[in-house]
Amino acid sequence: MERLTANEYRNAVYLDFEGEGKKRNGFIPQPHMAGIFEPNEKGKGGKYNSFFFLKEWMPVANHLKRSSRLVGFSEYFEVLVDQLIVSKNHLVCWSIHEPMILEMYLPKSTFTKLLPTIHNLHPVAKKYARRRNLFGPDTRTYGKTLDHFYTGFYPARPQNQALPKGAAEACRRVDLACSKTQSWSDFSSKQKGYVRDLIEYNKNDCLMTWLIALKIGNSKW
């Protein structure tokens, strides 16, 4: 995987899924949601939106209003791929997980159109880390997470807070809350906290991926 230019990274769309994760039998369910981040024309900020793929998550989408949308999985990506092709921009993700999920759950024709736009940042970040010796004496990049890479790229910045029980468990607990009521006002404070923490976690993953891409794009190798 070759790196993109600084402008290509800035004009890209950044994707991160959240869901229940792999089951004991190896099956990976369709994600519950996707976070989408689009960088601003200048600076390090941008616009984040969350897209929910389960109709049961309607109270969450209604609560978040303009920053979220309830939509079918294929429906969303069928629109996105056309936008990416017209704009000639890329869909950037941190690892092979997102492309794998897209291939599993999109119609073959949609995935075939989308595939040329997908850019997996992880191999590029590993190459950058090795050349810059970001991890010091422990030069290995195998097994290092997005958070490890972000800390290596931006050592002076505080680390983001991890979800106490993980994203998969947060999704299951939101599922349970939505199965009992379709009104956000009926969610308990703890249930509302699961939603807020999950969205913040997803947003941070999108933002970390973008900031790593930004540094790679602006650096001379």
For residue 90, tell me if it sits in a domain: yes
For residue 32, tell me if it sits in a domain: yes
Instruction: State the pLDDT at residue 162.
Output: 79
> Three-state SS across the chain?
CCCCCHHHHHHCEEEEEECCCCCCCCCCCCCCEEEEEEECCCCCCEEEEEEECCHHHHHHHHHHHHHEEECCHHHHHHHHHHHHHHHCCCEEECCCHHHHHHHHHCCHHHHHHHHHHEEEHHHHHHHHHHHHCCCCCCCCCCCCCHHHHHHHHCCCCCCCCCCCCCHHHHHHHHHHHHHHCCCHHHCCHHHHHHHHHHHHHHHHHHHHHHHHHHHHHHCCC
Tally of structural domains, the chain: 1
For residue 131, tell me if it sits in a domain: yes
For residue 1, tell me if it sits in a domain: no
What is the per-residue pLDDT across 35-70, written as a single tens digit (0 to 9) for each? 999 999 999 999 999 999 999 999 999 999 989 999
Average model confidence (pLDDT) across the chain: 94
For residue 212, tell me if it sits in a domain: yes
Domain boundaries, position 173: 6-218
Instruction: State the pLDDT at residue 139.
Output: 64
For residue 126, tell me if it sits in a domain: yes
Instruction: State the pLDDT at residue 24.
Output: 86
For residue 28, tell me if it sits in a domain: yes
48 forms beta bridges with: 37
20 forms beta bridges with: none
- All residue ranges of the chain with pLDDT < 50 are none
CATH code at 182?
3.30.420
For residue 100, tell me if it sits in a domain: yes
